[in-house]
Amino acid sequence: MGLAIGSFLNVCIYRIPKKKFLAAHRSFCPDCNTSIKWYDNIPLLSYILLRGRCRACKAKISVCYPLVELLTGYVFVHLYYVFIQCRHESPCVFICYAVLCCALIIVTFVDLKLLIIPNEVTFVGIPLALVLSVICPSLHDAHHTLRNFSLVGIYRLDALIASILGIFVGGFLIFICGILGKLAFRKDAMGFGDVKLMAMIGGIVGWKLVLAIFFVAPFFGLLMAVPVLILKKSRMIPYGPFLSFATLVCIILQDYFIGIVNLYIQFFIVIFTGFN
105, 218: one domain? yes
Task: Rounding to the nearest 10 degrees, give the CA dihedral for residues 126, 127, 129, 135.
Answer: 180
How many structural domains compose the chain? 2
209, 122: one domain? yes
For 48, 94, 103, 169, 238, the CA distances from 29, given in Å and listed in that order, are: 16, 33, 24, 42, 27
CA atoms within 13 A on the CB side of 62: 14
Kindly report, residue by residue over 156-207, the tens digit of the pLDDT. 899 999 999 999 999 999 999 888 877 877 777 677 889 999 999 999 999 8
173, 256: one domain? yes
Is residue 63 in a domain?
yes
129, 189: one domain? yes
Is residue 152 in a domain?
yes
Is residue 120 in a domain?
yes
Query: What φ, ψ does residue 28 adopt, rounded to 5°?
Result: -145, 160
Domain that holds residue 40: 1-71
124, 49: one domain? no
Is residue 80 in a domain?
no
Instruction: Name the DSSP class of 83.
Output: I
263, 130: one domain? yes
Kindly report, residue by residue over 104-136, the tens digit of the pLDDT. 999 999 998 998 999 999 999 999 999 999 999
pTM of the model: 0.89
Is residue 54 in a domain?
yes
Query: What φ, ψ does residue 240 adopt, rounded to 5°?
Result: -55, -45
